[in-house]
């Protein structure tokens, strides 16, 4: 299942970015027994080697040049807010024995500062599960942990059922295909790689722990996952015990997982300003019109559906009644308001919309007519839908999407669809066909559709089906407004 991990990991570790944080392990000793000085020293040496970049000789022994060891102890003590004495006192050893994340607390590569994904929609997939919890419980705890970050940032996480997601989530024990074997019960609980290709973003949980959904026994999967996903998004450990990025395990109140610092850090990393010039404002000057806040709609309402969705330039437009949300592909903020605020000519709702990249043109359909939007301008008057060669009885469509690879625009109506050849400008022969024949798994009336890369996203009620156009099957399901960061 995870055959690609090892080569990807080797590639990443040796060639790419050493800042794909080097997670390691520390043996959590059977508490009291390790109080004798020699094993304390061994524990401390392992700990500092793994989390504070203490150099050891090839046999794994520390270079007992005193200074370096004591200064690493001080670093660690400073990190955890202990008295920075450099001596292994009981407070220090207690922290060293606490179950924790496997990612180091210090970075030995300064250039990794601010590693981030260059996109706002990230995919994830759960590969190997734990047997500690039912699969459905794991799925929902993982989803909740992603939602913690989605709510704070406007990042969107889309669950796939394939092995090619940005963030692969796995439960594993001991050696598991990367260079960071787990260590049995306690000690290291989990680790995650920072953003990047291959193993980048991948998140591993030590399956020798007892994972739970509760607070009393074992380790709470939601809390640990939220921490690890912070790393998968590019965040480092925090010294603030209130931060979810604090390195040792603590059972926090799940309703209040992120500190203000966490929210600020994730938004600093994925701030809209980082994406460069403000494409939308530059190209859609209507956006600068003031909005009446009374008109704002709740994009996170659980029953929200869309009438039409389309790419338009580097943004995605979501239409609902006479309202519009605009999400720039590389920015986390969402513009919204009545459609007429953005496109004064349009006083109606939009039933369907599609985008043809090579023409830089979007087509917005309302009942039996459509507008062409090019650059920032609606060109001319609305034209008749019959332009596309529909039979006379077709008076409206539910959804439309252009597939770049085939040069076809697909129009969906109830349980059937048409295929229009944009190159030859004719309707393809043999249509309409049944949607269920060619899009297995998409069995209800389609409200909206748009395509991105090799996928068509079908909005059906409150759900979105991610359909792989090459494989011809659904590879993921999400809620519709997860696209708006809910």
Instruction: Report the alpha-carbon distance of residue 406 to residue 412 in Å, rounded.
Output: 17
State the binding partner of 21 from Zn ion, Ca ion, none, CB within 5 to 8 A by kind: none
Pick the closer one to Zn ion by CB: 103 or 364.
103
Q: Which is nearer to Zn ion, 188 or 311 (CB)?
A: 188
Q: Residue from 17, 40, 75, 178 that binds Zn ion (CB under 5 A)? A: 178
- The minimum distance between CB 27 and Zn ion, in angstroms, equals 16
CA 486 to chain CA centroid, Å, is 12
Contact of 51 with 43, CB cutoff 8 Å: no
CB nearer to Ca ion: pick between 143 and 188: 188
- Residue 183 binds: one of Zn ion, Ca ion, none (C-beta under 5 to 8 A by kind): Ca ion
> Which phi and psi (to 5°) does residue 124 adopt?
-140, 160
Give the number of other CB atoms < 10 A from CB of residue 101.
25
By CB under 5 A, residue 101 contacts Zn ion: yes
* Selected binder of Zn ion within 186, 204, 366, 402 (CB under 5 A): 204
- 202 touching Ca ion, by CB under 5 A: no
Q: What is the DSSP letter of 129?
A: P
Other CB atoms within 10 A of residue 282 CB: 10
Q: Among 86, 187, 201, 313, which residue interacts with Ca ion (rule: CB under 5 A)?
A: 187
Query: Judged by CB under 5 A, does residue 27 bind Ca ion?
Result: no
CB of 225 to Ca ion, least distance (A): 15
Q: Which does residue 178 bind out of Zn ion, Ca ion, none, counting CB within 5 to 8 angstroms by kind?
A: Zn ion
Closest CB to Ca ion among residues 186, 328: 186
Q: Which of 40, 183, 202, 351 binds Ca ion (CB under 5 A)?
A: 183
Please, which residue, 17 or 209, has the CB nearer to Ca ion?
A: 209
Could you tell me how far CA 56 lies from the centroid of its own chain? 37
Total residues contacting Zn ion by CB under 5 A comes to: 5
Minimum CB separation from Zn ion for residue 243, in Å?
10
Q: In whole angstroms, what is the distance from residue 367 CA to residue 351 CA?
A: 7
CB 78 within 8 A of CB 133: no
Instruction: Supply the DSSP string of 219-259, one letter for each residue.
Output: EEHHHHHHHHHHHHTT----S-TTSTT-SB-----GGG-S-
Q: Of these partners, Ca ion, Zn ion, none, which one is at the site of residue 206 (CB under 5 to 8 Å by kind)?
A: Ca ion
User: Measured from the CB atom, is 179 or 434 closer to Zn ion?
Assistant: 179
Q: Is 228 a catalytic residue?
A: yes
> Among 29, 107, 209, 228, which one carries the catalytic annotation?
228
Determine contact, residues 166/122, Cβ cutoff 8 Å.
Answer: yes
Residue 81: alpha-carbon gap to chain centroid: 32
Under a CB-based contact definition with an 8 Å cutoff, are residues 166 and 132 in contact? no
Residue 162 and residue 176: Cα distance in Å, rounded?
19
**Closer by beta carbon to Ca ion, 78 or else 174:** 174
**Closest CB to Zn ion among residues 103, 442:** 103
Q: Which does 336 bind (CB under 5 to 8 A by kind): Zn ion, Ca ion, none?
A: none
**Strand 100-101 with 188-192, pairing:** parallel
Least distance (Å) between residue 234 CB and Zn ion: 12
Q: Give the 3-state DSSP-derived string for 147-214, with helices as H, strands as E and coil as C.
A: HHHHHHHCCEEEECCCCCCCEEEEEECCCCCCCCCCCCCCCEEEEECCCCCCCCCCEEEECCCCEECC
Instruction: State the minimum distance, in angstroms, from the CB of residue 237 to Zn ion.
Output: 5
User: Shortest Cβ distance from residue 184 to Ca ion (Å)?
Assistant: 6
Name which position in 17, 206, 262, 336 contacts Ca ion (CB under 5 A). Answer: 206
Binding pattern for the stretch 307-346 against Zn ion, x by CB under 5 A and - elsewhere: ----------------------------------------
Q: Which of residues 325-364 bind Ca ion (CB under 5 A)?
A: none
**Element (DSSP H or E) covering residue 416:** strand 416-421
Binders of Zn ion among 240-279, rule CB under 5 A? none
CB of 423 to Zn ion, least distance (A): 48
Q: Could you tell me the smallest distance in angstroms from the CB atom of residue 182 to Ca ion? A: 5
The residue whose Cβ lies closest to Ca ion is 206
Residue 423 phi/psi, 5-degree rounding, is: -75, -50
Contacts of 92 (CB under 8 A, 6+ apart): 44, 73, 76, 77, 82
Are 56 and 45 within 8 A, CB to CB?
yes
The piece of 73-81, 110-118, 186-194, 345-353 that touches Ca ion (CB under 5 A) is 186-194
**CA dist., res. 330 & res. 311, Å (int):** 13
Question: Which residues contact Zn ion (rule: CB under 5 A)?
Answer: 101, 103, 178, 180, 204
Where in the sequence numbering do the catalytic residues fall?
228
Give the binding site for Ca ion (CB under 5 A): 183, 187-188, 206
């Amino acid at each position: 299942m995870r055959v690609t991990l090892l080569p990807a990991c080797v590639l990443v570790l040796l060639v790419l970015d050493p800042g794909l944080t080097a997670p390691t392990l520390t043996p959590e000793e059977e508490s009291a027994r390790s109080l004798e000085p020699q094993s304390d020293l061994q524990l401390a040496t392992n700990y500092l080697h793994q989390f504070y970049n203490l150099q050891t000789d090839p046999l794994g022994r520390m270079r007992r040049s005193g200074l370096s060891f004591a200064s690493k102890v001080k670093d660690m003590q400073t990190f955890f807010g202990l008295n920075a004495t450099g001596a292994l006192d009981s407070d220090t050893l207690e922290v060293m024995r606490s179950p924790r994340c496997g990612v180091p607390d210090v970075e030995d590569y300064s250039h990794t500062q601010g590693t981030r994904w260059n996109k706002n929609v990230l995919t994830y997939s759960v590969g190997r599960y734990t047997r500690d919890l039912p699969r459905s419980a794991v799925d929902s705890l993982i989803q909740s942990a992603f939602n913690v970050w989605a709510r704070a940032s406007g990042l969107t996480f889309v669950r796939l059922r394939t092995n090619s997601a940005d963030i692969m989530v796995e439960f594993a024990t001991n050696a598991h295909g990367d260079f960071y074997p787990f260590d049995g019960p306690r000690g290291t609980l989990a680790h995650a790689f920072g953003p990047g290709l291959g193993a980048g973003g991948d998140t591993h949980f030590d399956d020798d722990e007892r994972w739970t959904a509760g607070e009393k026994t074992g380790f709470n999967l939601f809390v640990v996952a939220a921490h690890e996903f912070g790393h998968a998004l590019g965040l480092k450990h925090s010294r603030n015990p209130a931060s979810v990025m604090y390195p040792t395990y603590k059972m926090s109140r799940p309703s209040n997982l992120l500190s203000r610092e966490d929210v600020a850090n994730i938004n600093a990393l994925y701030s809209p300003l980082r994406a460069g010039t403000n494409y939308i404002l530059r190209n859609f000057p209507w956006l600068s019109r003031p909005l009446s806040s009374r008109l704002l709609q709740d994009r996170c309402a659980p029953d929200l559906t869309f009438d039409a969705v389309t790419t338009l330039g580097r943004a995605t437009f979501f239409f609902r009644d006479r309202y519009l949300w605009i999400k720039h592909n590389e920015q986390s903020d969402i513009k919204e308001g009545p459609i007429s605020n953005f496109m004064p000519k349009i006083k109606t709702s939009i039933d369907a919309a599609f985008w043809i990249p090579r023409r830089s043109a979007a087509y917005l359909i309302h009942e039996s007519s459509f507008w062409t939007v090019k650059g920032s301008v609606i060109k001319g008057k609305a034209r008749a839908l019959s332009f596309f060669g529909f039979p006379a009885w077709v008076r409206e469509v539910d959804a439309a999407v252009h597939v770049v690879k085939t040069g076809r625009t697909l129009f969906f109506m109830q349980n059937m669809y048409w295929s229009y050849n944009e190159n030859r400008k004719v309707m393809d022969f043999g249509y309409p066909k049944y949607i269920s024949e060619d899009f297995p798994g998409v069995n209800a009336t389609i409200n909206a559709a748009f395509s991105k890369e090799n996928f068509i996203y079908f909005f059906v009620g409150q759900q979105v089906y991610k359909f792989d156009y090459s494989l011809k099957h659904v590879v993921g399901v999400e809620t519709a407004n997860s696209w708006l960061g809910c």
